[in-house]
Amino acid sequence: MTEPRWLDEREERAWRSLMVMQSGLFQYFERQLRAHSGLSAADYEVLAHLSEAPEGRMRSFALARVLRWEKGRLSQHLTRMQKRGLIRREPCPTDQRGAVVVITEPGRALIEKAAPLHVADIRKVLFDDATPAQLDLLTELGDQVKTRLAEIDQRTK
């Protein structure tokens, strides 16, 4: 086996930064969401996608895809959110095995209250200091990563 290509100094710094964002930033959002709205970041993501969908409804497989969650994880999470009255599940009229996930009125009220506070948090920690050039680079990086992950998904299918 050849000697692995370890990260050089520049890559190492970039990697550490990504870890800070991964842990520090998202833990901060999680704490803030819980404190001001009683939602986890996962709850927030589910409600945000549903609230933007036509009539607040999405097929569960489509929801799993946009969230990039596995089916089992989504199903467990939806059960908990259903118990709290934030969403409900209905059978899909065109597919016996598929469910439709629907945001409830309390779910919609909660995300509408939480969203402005969440956006203010994102601005404060991330975007207030970011330049347009930084934002565009972040978008490029995300696109590159998405492309690579899609290629890998494809090859393992």
What are the residues binding a second copy (CB under 8 A)? Answer: 1, 4-7, 10-11, 13-18, 20-28, 67-69, 115-116, 119-120, 122-127, 129-130, 132-146, 148-149, 152
Closest CA to 116 of 22, 47, 36, 31: 36
Closest approach, Cβ 87 to a second copy, in A, equals 20
Q: What is the largest CA-CA distance in the chain?
A: 59
Residue whose CB is less far from a second copy, 44 or 100: 44
Residue whose CB is less far from a second copy, 64 or 100: 64
Residue identified by tokens 């690579």 is: 148
Closest approach, Cβ 86 to a second copy, in A, equals 20
SS (H, E, C) 1-24: CCCCCCCCHHHHHHHHHHHHHHHH
Residue whose CB is less far from a second copy, 46 or 100: 46
Closest approach, Cβ 110 to a second copy, in A, equals 16
| Distance from C-alpha of 52 to C-alpha of 118, rounded to nearest angstrom | 16
**Burial level of 26, CB count in 10 A (0-12/13-18/19+)?**
exposed
- The number of C-alpha atoms within 13 Å of 19 and in the hemisphere containing its C-beta is 6
- Could you tell me the two tokens for 33? 């969401």
Residue whose CB is less far from a second copy, 41 or 92: 41
Q: Inter-axis angle of helices 71-83 and 41-52, to 10 degrees?
A: 90
Closest approach, Cβ 66 to a second copy, in A, equals 10
Closest approach, Cβ 92 to a second copy, in A, equals 25
Residue whose CB is less far from a second copy, 11 or 95: 11
